[in-house]
């Protein structure tokens, strides 16, 4: 009798023996379910509550049974559990252990790469981890650095794959003291403890490598998305409701009716189409494919007729007309039975009325995207075509929400069907909010709800997405959201016949990610009045924190991000100062209390430019030369909604005097009174703000009662001031007419 020895017999038990993984890690199980235990070779976390929806089921299972050497399965489990439970009494004493808990997504990925490494060692004839040395580590990195494509071409693997080929051996060495069944040799430090990035030859990026989207891309993309949401979505949703109501009210008779009865019912439908000159319902691409497989040919007069729809219109059940059976000679020749007896009448009907998709034959007209003329919102379509239209609308909603809120993909997937919170504030100044869950940086406890303040367009987009999802849905978007594929389908719709018929601008083929949208939003906020402060406050409120550690790593990612915003803000100020100088040269003078001082400065700059011009009359100073002379003044520029603030001397700043804070190094935009401040100027770009304010004040003063004399006097003074500023801007920017 042959006995098989247990390879783990006689080895002391693991420090994690008998551990309930979920209880140790802090995961919540659904009532009445059990989680994995350390001894199991397959850890299944699908019964855990609160995991992100973006975490796919395949990532909720860590299968150690794939490790060929049974001796190493407990080692791999100890390693993975140590990553998940850094506060365990045996783990926290390890000098090289992580102190921050790794998420299930990360540990599942580590488990997958651990299986690959250990099985590679087995393939090399290694039976114990004590045999591992630097040579084997280098060999494994070389092995994981390339792969073969399906065509047999050898290509370099991704940076993440090579990083894992370094990290797993290094982390095995760091946790080796914890292993009870096998461990790496004492003193082995793969690659001498060098960072994984330096080992694979990658350089640690100094800033954000994600570039913002081009304006040439954003303009047609947003135009197409907003057109879909505002113009296409309402009739498309109405059509879907009509189709569902039609299907719900259709009564189908049993196929047990006599053949003559079935024939008369179908004949009645065909003749009605002929009398009303109503085309028969045509077959979609899927139905035509089925006909082709059944032996039909495009030359057949009935090739484009949807026979299934014709039978249903007559009130008959079944997917094909009774008498026609797939695979029979009758089916292959499209003859025999009921179809054969109806063929002459059907061919006559096709010749008279033809075929067309059933739905939206009289689609209402909508204004085209270019604003010139009208066109039906859609051509006649099949039910499957409507699904494609609604898919494009859903993608448009996703893009608008992502671009205008800065949410990550994991947070977009968590948007519930009732994510729109009630709008707050008076009409015209309402505050719109969406609720979702924070995922990044929350560890295993993902049930952390937060609110994103968004603009009206994003709020309305969420409403359209909820209408498409339907009342039975729990979230706006699928947990298997593939943004790349969604964007491809949207581009096909906008750039294809549907979008071009409605005169939509084609969307360029740039590579786009949700990170690109967040990056673009961050820089757009930085260019608004209050730049740096607005970016810090608004991004925090939107939870668009680009890297974890923002609050705990001074001089790290936060400092780089804020420095980048500062550079963008300064570049904007240089461009605005240059434009103000060019306007001055064209005779458009700055207005406001600080206008004279700014004009004197521009005169000084012009005199400095005149010197080189006198010696070289054919040489015109470049913009860069002018910017160099304007740079110091540009550094003092702060944007207001209705003025430029040249914050040169804090002692002259009216806002600091009113606030009693003369030592501040920046102005107080909320207390700005540019009509009186000696450092404020008004330009042509500000005229609309002041003119609009004057108009609003006149509306208000016309609505208040005669008894409110004090309020009427206050509004009258505001009107007088706004009109005065508008008049000053008009006078300062007026140029003599060219004869």
- Is residue 600 a part of any domain in this protein? yes
Tell me: do 194 and 228 sit in the same domain.
Answer: no
Model confidence at 155: pLDDT above 90: no
Give the confidence band of 738 by pLDDT, cuts at 50, 70, 90.
very low
Mean pLDDT of 430-450: 75
List of long-range contacts for 358-365, beta carbons under 8 Å, 24+ apart: 358/281, 358/282, 358/306, 358/309, 358/382, 358/383, 359/239, 359/243, 359/383, 359/386, 360/239, 360/386, 361/279, 363/235, 364/235
Tell me: do 491 and 513 sit in the same domain.
Answer: yes
If you average pLDDT over every residue of the chain, what do you get? 82
Q: CA torsion, points 480, 485, 486, 488, in degrees to nearest 10?
A: 180
Where on the phi/psi map is residue 108: left (φ > 0), alpha (ψ -120 to 50), or beta? alpha
Tell me: do 561 and 506 sit in the same domain.
Answer: no
- Tokens 């693991």 correspond to what residue? 14
- Is residue 312 a part of any domain in this protein? no
Using an 8 Å Cβ cutoff, are 494 and 506 in contact?
A: yes
What range does the domain containing 717 cover?
Answer: 557-733
- Is residue 462 a part of any domain in this protein? yes
Mean pLDDT of 649-662: 85
Tell me: do 170 and 85 sit in the same domain.
Answer: yes
Question: Which tops the pLDDT comparison, 467 or 305?
Answer: 467
Alpha-carbon gap, residue 297 to 515, rounded angstroms? 49
Tell me: do 509 and 447 sit in the same domain.
Answer: yes
Tell me: do 190 and 221 sit in the same domain.
Answer: no
DSSP per-residue codes, 694-724: HHHHHHHHHHS-TT-HHHHHHHHHHHHHHHH
What are the CA-CA distances from residue 167 to residues 46, 197, 198, 199 (Å)? 27, 10, 12, 10
- Is residue 172 a part of any domain in this protein? yes
- Is residue 118 a part of any domain in this protein? yes
Tell me: do 717 and 631 sit in the same domain.
Answer: yes
> Of 137, 166, 199, which residue sits at a domain end?
199
Alpha-carbon gap, residue 185 to 639, rounded angstroms? 63
pLDDT (tens digit, 9 = 90+) per residue, 284-312? 888 888 888 888 888 888 888 888 888 88
Backbone angles phi, psi at 483, to 5 degrees: -65, -40
- Is residue 272 a part of any domain in this protein? no
- Is residue 236 a part of any domain in this protein? yes
535-549: string of b/e by CB count within 10 Å (b at 16+)?
Answer: bbebbeebbbbbeee
pLDDT (tens digit, 9 = 90+) per residue, 582-625? 888 888 889 988 888 888 888 888 888 776 554 555 555 677 77
Q: What is the pLDDT of residue 736?
A: 41
Mean pLDDT of 451-464: 90
Q: Is 433 exposed, middle or buried (0-12, 13-18, 19+ CB in 10 A)?
A: middle
Tell me: do 404 and 469 sit in the same domain.
Answer: yes
Q: What is the pLDDT of residue 136?
A: 94
Q: What is the pLDDT of residue 563?
A: 66
Alpha-carbon gap, residue 273 to 262, rounded angstroms? 17
- Is residue 276 a part of any domain in this protein? no
> Of 171, 199, 227, which residue sits at a domain end?
199
Total domains present in the chain: 3
Alpha-carbon gap, residue 104 to 89, rounded angstroms? 20
pLDDT (tens digit, 9 = 90+) per residue, 529-570? 554 445 444 443 333 333 322 222 334 444 555 666 677 778
Q: What is the pLDDT of residue 394?
A: 96
Tell me: do 531 and 582 sit in the same domain.
Answer: no
Tell me: do 616 and 509 sit in the same domain.
Answer: no
Give the confidence band of 173 by pLDDT, cuts at 50, 70, 90.
very high
Tell me: do 86 and 155 sit in the same domain.
Answer: yes
Mean pLDDT of 170-197: 91
Structure tokens that stand for 660 in this block: 């009693």
**Parallel, antiparallel or unpaired: strands 280-281 and 355-356:** parallel
Q: What is the pLDDT of residue 149?
A: 83
> Of 172, 199, 226, which residue sits at a domain end?
199
Tell me: do 411 and 534 sit in the same domain.
Answer: yes
Mean pLDDT of 78-95: 91
């Amino acid at each position: 009798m042959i006995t098989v020895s247990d390879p783990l017999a006689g080895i002391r038990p693991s420090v994690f023996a008998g551990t309930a993984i979920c209880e140790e890690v802090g995961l919540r199980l659904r009532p009445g379910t059990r989680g994995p235990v350390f001894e199991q070779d397959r850890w299944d976390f699908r019964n855990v509550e609160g995991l992100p929806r973006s975490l796919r089921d395949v990532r909720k299972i860590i299968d150690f049974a794939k490790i060929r050497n049974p001796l190493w399965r407990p080692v791999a489990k100890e390693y993975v559990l140590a990553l998940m439970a850094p506060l365990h009494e045996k783990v926290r004493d390890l000098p090289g252990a992580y102190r921050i808990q790794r998420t299930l997504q990360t540990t599942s990925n580590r488990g997958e790469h651990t299986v690959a490494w250990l099985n590679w060692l087995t393939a090399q004839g290694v039976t114990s981890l004590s045999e591992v040395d630097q040579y084997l580590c280098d060999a494994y990195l070389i092995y994981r650095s390339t792969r073969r494509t399906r065509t047999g071409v050898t290509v370099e693997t991704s940076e993440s794959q090579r990083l894992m080929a370094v990290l797993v051996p290094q982390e095995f060495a760091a946790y080796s003291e914890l292993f009870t069944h096998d461990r790496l040799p004492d003193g082995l430090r793969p690659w001498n403890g060098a960072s994984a990035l330096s080992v694979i030859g990658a350089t640690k990026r100094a800033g954000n490598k994600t570039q913002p989207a081009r304006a040439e891309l954003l303009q047609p993309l947003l135009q197409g998305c907003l057109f879909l949401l505002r113009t296409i979505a309402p009739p498309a949703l109405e059509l879907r409701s009509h189709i569902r109501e039609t299907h719900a009210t259709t009564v189908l008779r049993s196929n047990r009716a006599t053949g003559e009865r079935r024939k008369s019912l179908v004949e009645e439908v065909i003749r009605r189409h002929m009398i009303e000159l109503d085309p028969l319902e045509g077959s979609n691409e899927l139905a035509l494919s089925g006909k082709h497989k059944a032996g039909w040919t495009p030359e057949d007069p009935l090739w484009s007729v949807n026979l299934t729809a014709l039978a249903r219109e007559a009130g008959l059940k079944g997917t094909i007309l009774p008498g026609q059976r797939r695979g029979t000679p009758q089916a292959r020749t499209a003859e025999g039975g009921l179809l054969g007896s109806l063929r002459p009448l059907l061919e006559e009907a096709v010749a008279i009325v033809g075929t067309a998709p059933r739905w939206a034959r009289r689609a209402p007209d909508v204004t085209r995207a270019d604003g010139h003329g009208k066109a039906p919102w859609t051509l006649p379509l099949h039910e499957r075509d409507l699904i494609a239209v609604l898919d494009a609308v859903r993608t448009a909603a996703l893009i608008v929400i992502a671009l205008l809120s800065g949410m990550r993909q994991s947070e977009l997937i968590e948007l519930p069907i009732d994510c729109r919170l009630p709008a707050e504030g008076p009409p015209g100044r309402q505050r719109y909010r969406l609720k979702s869950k924070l995922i990044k940086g929350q560890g295993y406890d993902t049930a952390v709800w937060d609110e994103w303040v968004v603009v009206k367009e994003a709020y309305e987009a969420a409403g359209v997405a909820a209408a498409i999802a339907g009342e039975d849905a729990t979230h706006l978007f699928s947990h298997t959201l593939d943004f790349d594929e969604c964007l491809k389908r949207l581009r096909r719709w906008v750039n294809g016949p549907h979008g071009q018929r409605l005169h939509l601008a084609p969307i360029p083929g740039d590579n786009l990610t949700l990170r690109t949208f967040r990056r673009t939003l961050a820089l757009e906020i930085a260019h608004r009045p209050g730049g740096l402060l607005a970016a810090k406050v608004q991004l925090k409120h939107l939870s668009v924190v680009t890297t974890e550690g923002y609050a705990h790593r001074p001089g790290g990612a936060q400092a780089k991000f804020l420095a980048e915003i500062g550079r963008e803000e300064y570049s904007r100020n240089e461009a605005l100062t240059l434009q103000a100088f060019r306007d001055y040269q064209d005779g458009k003078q700055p207005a406001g209390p600080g206008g004279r001082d700014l004009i004197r400065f521009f005169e000084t700059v012009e005199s400095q430019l005149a010197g080189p011009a006198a010696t070289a009359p054919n040489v015109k100073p470049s913009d860069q030369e002018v910017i160099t002379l304007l740079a110091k003044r540009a550094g003092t520029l702060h944007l207001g909604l209705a003025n430029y603030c040249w914050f040169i001397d804090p002692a002259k700043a009216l806002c600091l005097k009113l606030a009693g804070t003369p030592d501040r190094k920046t102005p107080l935009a909320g207390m700005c009174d540019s009509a009186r401040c000696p450092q404020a100027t008004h330009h042509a770009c500000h005229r609309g703000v002041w003119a609009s304010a004057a108009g609003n004040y006149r509306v208000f003063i016309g609505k208040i009662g005669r008894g409110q004399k004090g309020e009427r006097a206050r509004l009258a003074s505001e009107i007088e001031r706004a009109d005065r500023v508008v008049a000053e801007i008009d006078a300062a920017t007026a140029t003599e007419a060219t004869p």
